[in-house]
Amino acid sequence: MSELKGLLRTHNCGELREDQVGQTVTLCGWVNKYRDLGALHFIDLRDKYGLTQLGFEQFEGDLTILKDCALESVIKATGVVALRPDAAKNKKMDTGLVEIQVKSLEILSRNDIDNIPFLPFGQVEATEDLRLKYRYLDLRTKKLQDILALRSRTTNTVRALLTEENFIEVETPILYKSTPEGARDYVVPSRVHAGKVYALPQSPQTLKQLLMIGSTDKYFQICRCFRDEDLRADRQPEFTQIDMEISFATQEYVKNVVEKILKNLFKLSSDFVLPMMTYDEALTRYGSDKPDLRFALEHKTVTDIFKDSDFSVFSSVAKEGGLIKAIFVPMSNGTFSRKDTDALTDVVKPHGGKGVAFFKVTEGARSGGISKFVTDEIYSELCTLEEKSGDGTWLFCASADRDTTHSCADALRRHLGKKLNLIEDGYKFLWVYDFPLLEWNADDKRYIARHHPFTMVKSEQRDAFMAADPKDPEALKDMPSEAYDVVCNGYELGGGSIRIHEPGVQKKMFEVLGMSEAEVKHQFGFFVEALNYGVPPHGGLAFGLDRIIMMLAKTESIRDVIAFPKTSSASDIMAEAPSAPGESQLRELHFNWTK
């Protein structure tokens, strides 16, 4: 406890021990449990630090007050620390050897709800919707209080580490200009400027680059970001980033800063070095740019092996320029019934797949599935790709669209990792780099930025980029960029890039993205002008703080690590937000609102 005076209590409910026997103390907290044994009465008093038992054998008041001490009421108790009788000692509790013999008791705030929605420390766990609706009750649980404390320690650690590296913390605006960065903006209508809106920043991207232009050199911020996008277990409409930007940075320097942070947060060895893998290699081996390396089952590309096979489904995919991938599951990892293999269709279907082909090998004999199409020559070639080939099951994903094959094979691998209990404990990190600069949108017949429109092309590709035809879908296909991600256990923990610092390259990027001069001036005019005043080469990375806390807390829901989260439909069911504004507010904001 702090030695600062002025609290209603002298100690918290988790700190009293045998060496304090005989002391007069005052505790405050919530009634966790009340036991009426006739002649004896006990209350277990709880706060965020723990539990202490209160006894009332020496109580100097009217014991009828205990009838008003409903569960979850807040009380203040003053008494003397005493040893529990030997038969009543509880070595499983931190305070289990002592109790407070209460002299006086005051009810500070009574729980007046007879049917409380749920008890934070009750035996029956409430549903998630109920816990979100009454989040203030859920926050009383040890799990959430521990996560809040973990989050606080983490941000303090990061601040200290970056300050040690001469970063300075700068706050950037929340009310800002709408700039396209891949997701929809949340907008805020202006009362003063009729018909105009601010946007809540998806990230401080242009702002941190302007700080580099402004000679800030090393910036960081633990900042709120807002994106109006469909949600998943690891996404929220508002989230927190550990945002960094550095002048004259190389990927190596950014990687070194990342390693320093990871070593401290995840208690890694001093000689830890972040493994590295190119985007193309990650996609080839795992079908994902954020692979989970805690288990094997790597993908094997087998397109050429089946090019001339009698299995028309595979041979046609191969001849159409598609992709066929295989995953071999040794019998030591698990076996599959026909029901199991049929169920794999449901695993790949959400990713565009039509099914999963297979055949089994038992004591060298091939059977089931597509085995009749697997000749000795094909099987021999498959075995050369897989060191553990032998008894087991070969599984295949194939599609004329290569991205679909990658996605399906990734989903299949992740499914097998969980189903077969192959995922090891611990953290497996990876630095993925050389992401594609652009993607071709066939529907709009134009390129879109893979990360954002300020990502620098690789230096050796600069001339080819500047000379490329923006309307040619092949001209910039697969061109690598100076973009990189840090990955852990199948999650992207952070992403960044070296930025464009040359006005000519930035102008060409906007041209490649199909933006007219008028659009560029409207959306980025202030930024484009700033590029003409001398810009240091710069780059950075933004960690997703919420995902880092998910990893550290070993939870799979981002809602567990945010004090007041939104649901999967981006609503706050506790505060009933979003809500309809009042008529007077709409008039002030110059809204023509139709309900």
Collapsed DSSP state (helix, strand, coil) of residue 228: strand
| 258 and 358 part of one domain | no
Residue 434 CA neighbour count, 13 Å, CB half: 14
Tell me how far CA of residue 21 lies from CA of 13, 53, 59, 79, 133, in angstroms: 15, 14, 17, 11, 42
In the chain, the percentage of residues whose pLDDT exceeds 90 is 88
Side chain identity at 86, as an amino acid letter? D
- What is the pTM for the complete model shown? 0.92
Tell me how far CA of residue 132 lies from CA of 117, 227, 228, 514, 574, in angstroms: 11, 21, 20, 44, 6
Q: Is 138 known as a binding-site position?
A: no
Q: Is 545 known as a binding-site position?
A: yes
Q: Is 499 known as a binding-site position?
A: yes
| 158 and 264 part of one domain | yes
How many other CB atoms are found less than 10 A from the CB of residue 514?
15
Computed from CA positions of residues 375, 377, 381, 386, in that sequence, does the dihedral angle turn out positive or negative? positive
Q: Is 351 known as a binding-site position?
A: no
pLDDT above 60 (res 174):
yes
Q: What is the mean pLDDT of residues 382-411?
A: 96
With tokens 């005051």, the residue in question is 106
Q: Is 352 left (phi over 0), alpha (psi -120 to 50) or beta?
A: left
Structural domain span for residue 471 = 438-480+503-532
| 337 and 446 part of one domain | no
Is residue 549 included in any domain, yes or no? Answer: yes
Is residue 117 included in any domain, yes or no? Answer: no
Q: CA-to-CA distance for 167 and 569, rounded, in angstroms?
A: 37
Is residue 39 included in any domain, yes or no? Answer: yes
Q: CA-to-CA distance for 424 and 410, rounded, in angstroms?
A: 18
| 262 and 167 part of one domain | yes
For the chain, report the end-to-end CA distance as a whole number of angstroms.
Answer: 53
Residue ending a domain, choose from 109, 126, 160: 109
Give exposure, 185-202, as e/b (b: 16+ Cβ within 10 Å): bbeebeeeeeeeebbbbb
pLDDT above 60 (res 595):
no
Is residue 524 included in any domain, yes or no? Answer: yes
Q: CA-to-CA distance for 555 and 386, rounded, in angstroms?
A: 34
Q: Is 547 known as a binding-site position?
A: yes
| 466 and 554 part of one domain | no
Query: Which residues on adjacent β-strands are paired with residue 76?
Result: 28, 106
Tell me which residue of 196, 190, 183, 189 sits closest to 226, measured CA to CA: 183
Q: CA-to-CA distance for 540 and 536, rounded, in angstroms?
A: 13
* Confidence grade of residue 182 (pLDDT, cut at 50, 70, 90): low
pLDDT above 90 (res 592):
no
Query: Which residues on adjacent β-strands are paired with residue 326?
Result: 300, 396
Residue ending a domain, choose from 62, 85, 109: 109
Q: Is 181 known as a binding-site position?
A: yes
| 468 and 406 part of one domain | no
| 525 and 565 part of one domain | no
pLDDT above 90 (res 587):
no
Q: What is the mean pLDDT of residues 96-125?
A: 93
Q: CA-to-CA distance for 59 and 41, rounded, in angstroms?
A: 10
Is residue 31 included in any domain, yes or no? Answer: yes
Tell me: the pLDDT tens digits for 288-318?
A: 999 999 999 999 999 999 999 999 999 999 9
Tell me which residue of 467, 483, 477, 327 sits closest to 405, measured CA to CA: 327
Tell me: the pLDDT tens digits for 211-239?
A: 999 999 999 999 999 999 876 666 899 99
Query: How many residues does this entry show for the chain?
Result: 595
Q: Is 53 known as a binding-site position?
A: no
| 414 and 341 part of one domain | yes
Residue 34 CA neighbour count, 13 Å, CB half: 17
Q: What is the mean pLDDT of residues 415-437?
A: 97
How many other CB atoms are found less than 10 A from the CB of residue 335?
15
Q: Is 501 known as a binding-site position?
A: no
Q: Is 451 known as a binding-site position?
A: yes
* Confidence grade of residue 571 (pLDDT, cut at 50, 70, 90): very high
Contact 253, 246 (CB under 8 A): yes
Is residue 523 included in any domain, yes or no? Answer: yes
Would you give the distance in Å from CA 38 to the centre of its chain? 52
Q: CA-to-CA distance for 500 and 512, rounded, in angstroms?
A: 14
With tokens 């100097």, the residue in question is 60
DSSP 453-519: TTBPBPGGGHHHHHH--TT-TTTTTT-BBSEEEEEETTEEEEEEEEBP--HHHHHHHHHHTT--HHH
Is residue 589 included in any domain, yes or no? Answer: no
pLDDT above 60 (res 579):
yes
Q: What is the mean pLDDT of residues 129-138?
A: 96
pLDDT at 3: 62
Tell me: the pLDDT tens digits for 463-510?
A: 999 999 988 888 898 899 999 999 999 999 999 999 999 999 999 999
Query: Which residues on adjacent β-strands are paired with residue 44?
Result: 33, 53
| 471 and 543 part of one domain | no
| 525 and 544 part of one domain | no
How many structural domains are present in the chain? 4
| 167 and 271 part of one domain | yes
Is residue 593 included in any domain, yes or no? Answer: no
Q: Is 485 known as a binding-site position?
A: no
Collapsed DSSP state (helix, strand, coil) of residue 188: strand
| 497 and 509 part of one domain | no
Q: For all residues of the chain together, what is the average pLDDT?
A: 94
Q: CA-to-CA distance for 285 and 302, rounded, in angstroms?
A: 12
Q: CA-to-CA distance for 328 and 383, rounded, in angstroms?
A: 10
CATH value at residue 359: 3.30.1360.30
